């Protein structure tokens, strides 16, 4: 069953250079996400700022070789990796914001937006996570993800609700300019919701972290080329 987009609370938001300021308090947003599963913050970050971040992250990924894993900032290209339990194709840029784990120029570029995302996520989820390990060795792990034109996707999957509680997805691309089709989908109480047409660059999807969700194929009719910026891009902040 397909859910109506009008069922999802849409909240106007802005960025003051340090924080995301929503039109309603964090407690009300938490209530929306807890009860309805989803909320959409419109216009939370300026497009020009996000475009600069995306350009810088993409250039960094073209200049240094991809890796499978690292204890410092690295990027990885996954094209249906056989070892993964959930089929996917994406380019993940994984950042550590602690000193010595990231190039200083890249840290200056991405830290302000990821810090604002951290504060918003903590306020809505009621957590106190940060970029340094806590007493349980958990930390927030900033990611930029490109689902490339030519078939980038992520099959349906779920996460444990705790410790994160609330997931946050910042739109880093624009349908019609960066890609033609495909987007983020969720299942809430047996109804499927697609954000393909409503999650614009600068918007933030907030979702209860244990909801089933997936990315439908991006421009599946095109040739996949990892040297192109084309596709759907997001910024996320997993905490584990």
Predicted confidence (pLDDT) per residue in 84-141, tens digit: 999 999 999 999 998 899 999 999 999 999 999 999 999 999 999 999 999 999 999 9
Determine, yes or no, domain membership for 10.
yes
Give the CATH number, domain containing residue 57: 2.60.120.620
Look at residue 14 and tell me if it is in a domain.
yes
| Sequential pLDDT tens for the chain (240 residues) | 676 677 899 999 999 999 999 999 999 999 999 989 999 999 999 999 999 999 999 999 999 999 999 999 999 999 999 999 999 999 999 999 988 999 999 999 999 999 999 999 999 999 999 999 999 999 999 999 999 999 999 999 999 999 999 999 999 999 999 999 999 999 999 999 999 999 999 999 999 999 999 999 999 999 999 999 999 999 999 999
User: Crossing angle of helices 47-63/104-125, nearest 10°?
Assistant: 130
| pLDDT (tens digit per residue) in 26-36 | 999 999 999 89
Evaluate whether 142 touches 97 at the Cβ level (below 8 Å). yes
pTM of the model: 0.96
Beta 10-15 vs 38-42: how paired, if at all? parallel
Q: For residue 74, tell me if it sits in a domain.
A: no
Q: Among residues 49, 33, 51, 53, which one has the least CA distance to residue 41?
A: 33
Query: Are 38 and 186 spatial neighbours (Cβ–Cβ below 8 Å)?
Result: yes
Structure tokens at 17: 């250079």
* Residue 109 lies inside a defined structural domain of this protein: yes
DSSP H or E run through 169: strand 166-171
What is the dihedral sign for C-alpha 75, 44, 38, 230?
negative
Half-sphere exposure of 111 (CA within 13 A, CB side): 14
What distance, in Å, lies between the first and last C-alpha atoms of the chain? Answer: 33
Read off φ and ψ for residue 76, nearest 5 degrees.
-145, 135
Determine, yes or no, domain membership for 39.
Answer: yes
The residue range of the domain holding 139 is 5-66+88-236
Residue 76 resides in a domain? no
User: What's the structural domain count of the chain?
Assistant: 1
């Amino acid at each position: 069953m397909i859910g109506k987009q009008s069922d999802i609370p849409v909240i106007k938001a802005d960025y003051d250079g340090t924080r995301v300021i929503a039109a309603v308090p964090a407690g009300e947003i938490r209530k929306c996400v807890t009860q309805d599963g989803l909320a959409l913050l419109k216009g939370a970050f300026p497009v020009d700022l996000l475009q600069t971040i995306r350009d810088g992250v993409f250039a960094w990924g073209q200049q240094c070789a991809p890796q499978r894993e690292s204890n410092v900032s690295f990027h990885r290209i996954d094209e249906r990796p056989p070892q993964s339990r959930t089929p996917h194709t994406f380019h993940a840029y994984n950042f550590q914001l602690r000193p010595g784990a990231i190039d200083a120029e890249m840290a200056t570029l991405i830290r302000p937006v990821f810090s604002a995302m951290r504060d918003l996520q903590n306020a809505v989820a009621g957590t106190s996570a940060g970029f340094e390990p806590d007493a349980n060795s958990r930390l927030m792990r900033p990611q930029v993800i490109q689902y490339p034109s030519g078939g980038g996707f992520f099959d349906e999957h779920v996460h444990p609700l705790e410790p994160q509680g609330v997931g946050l997805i910042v739109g880093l691309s624009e349908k019609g300019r960066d890609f033609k089709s495909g987007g983020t989908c969720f299942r809430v109480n047996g109804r499927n919701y697609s954000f393909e047409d409503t999650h614009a660059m600068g918007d933030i999807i907030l979702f209860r972290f244990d909801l089933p969700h997936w990315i439908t194929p991006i421009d599946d009719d095109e040739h996949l080329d990892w040297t192109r910026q084309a596709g759907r891009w997001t910024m996320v902040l997993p905490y584990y």
